[in-house]
Structure 1
Amino acid sequence: MLEDNNKAMTADPSILGVKRYSLADRKSKVAIEKIGRPYERGGLFWEFLSSLPDILAAADLRRAAARISEAHKNGRPVILGMGAHPIKVGISPIIIDLMERGIITALATNGASIVHDFELAYAGFTSEDVAAELCKGQFGMAEETGVMLNTAIVKGVEKGLGLGKAIGSFILHDKAIKNKEISIFARACELGLPVTVHVAVGTDIIHMHPEADGRAIGEGSLRDFRLLATLIRGLEGGVFINLGSAVIIPEVFMKALNLARNTSPGDNIERFTAINMDFISHYRAQVNVLKRPAHSSDSAINLIGHHEIMFPLLAAAIKETLKGQDGDGS
């Protein structure tokens, strides 16, 4: 038996019908210049970034940072669409920093975002134990959140504001709110940046309170939708990021983009970069943010990972990329 195996191993390939080629002639996906290298303790962040493999998600992270940096340098918009989870996991200061630097030029959020943004600014904490409170019928029934946010919406809409600006102005100017610096909405209002809120009625805890006014909520959200469509009309050469929204923002983005293309004079808003960031892959984000709107596969970037890790990494990579472009870095 051993003798038979040895004969098979040394047989002429032509006898077995095997067709082969030289390894040098083969197209390969991984080359030695793309592989990573160990990070040395005490190094700088750009050294860590450059130590990552130039493969798959690491390459996409660099590409996302480069696209955002390029848009910023060229004076093009970078619109951050987001769910509430990024606020709940503590990355508001990182988002605000990018707003203050003029890198994020506008925001589009869902209705739950105003809840967590307000509670952090007002109380210094947020995110209740849903399962425990739901069993008691007390989930989402905090009086301050229900009364103050609904009142701010009604008053703001009466003044002709959309939901985003109504909430931002309220948090910024209400003397009872002590942690204004942590509020994305207040800082956007202070900086004069557009921020929109897109609501599905019944999805947010403040809709359970008697102060909720469907007319005001709907009118304010519709104003914000039209504002977002206007912003997207100028998206050519820019970037749209979907951060942690599985349904609302992907659906709103697709409709706003369509409305923008329908009403935009001249071009069809094709050459922009769409970036999706979430901790799992969701259908609507994949289809409505990346596939359907994209001009080419190169303009769609998908970064899967926890928000509290991936977005700070991206923000830091943007800063390093801009520093390098200015000749003050690696």
Structure 2
Amino acid sequence: MTTDTPVHTPFDARTTALEVVRDIDLTGRRAVVTGGASGIGVETARALAAAGADVTLAVRDLDAGRRAARDIIDSTGNDRLLVAPLDLADQASVAAFVAAWDGPLHVLVNNAGIMASPERRTPEGWELQFATNHLGHFALATGLHRALAAAEGARIVAVSSAAHLRSPVVFDDIHFRQRPYDPWEAYGQSKTANVLFAVEATRRWADDGIVSNALMPGAIPTNLQRYVSAEELERMRAASGGGAATWKTVEQGAATSVLVATSPLLDGIGGRYFEDCQQAAPHQPGTRTGVAAYALDPAAAERLWTVSEQTLRG
């Protein structure tokens, strides 16, 4: 059951992922991390492995995934690392991953994503950022529902972003078929969708022991920004307060994901949005922090779920 009491933790923006799991034992637990070959995905997987979990890196680039797995094994001493192919923009790839999974799944970290890409579409005609960041993860989670339910206490981690403040889900034109394409609006919409997924997944699946929470990892220089110019990165740095101190290391950036995935403080709690290892406050105009009311709107969450199911059915 979820509660309305805000979650407070002893951690903050400077906490690292390994510090979050220092006193947590995940032996016997199984986890999947999408995008586990780079960025905060690697550090999320490393922390889960360090706590004893069996971790599957779900990646597009198998060679990069294998290199990441070897590095995690070397640094943690946990050799229960697997690498599996997954392209979230390819529904056949998602279906193949689901079909190959066997047994319970305790933690699903929906971490992979693309940011502010040029206008591109999947073969189905879906806008690529929404297709990858939301629809691919939606298909993965719903496909793995039985495995998550079998874990009797599973958690789904939805990696969102403060960019969700840029746009709600525009249901009348999700895929930019009528409105001019804007890469940041498209990214923001997909990140709002991640939060709404956490809200509705918890509502639908809490009786199965499954909860989901969303999070903002923080500003971390990674390959995620490959479509963003140096000038735009500087503007982002200035908007977030200015100075290098506003940027996190990848180890700090993974901490909130790992908190949501593992902390006993979140047992049975879902449908929330976290930043800097704390439950976020409501967004205040003029800031780049907090969670937008539209991202937690239960009616929008239910509508998005229905639209997503219909979209995937074609």
TM-score (norm 2): 0.39
Greater relative contact order, per chain length (Cα 8 Å cut-off, separation 6+): 2
> Looking at CA atoms only, which structure, 1 or 2, has the larger radius of gyration?
1
Q: TM-score, normalised by structure 1?
A: 0.37
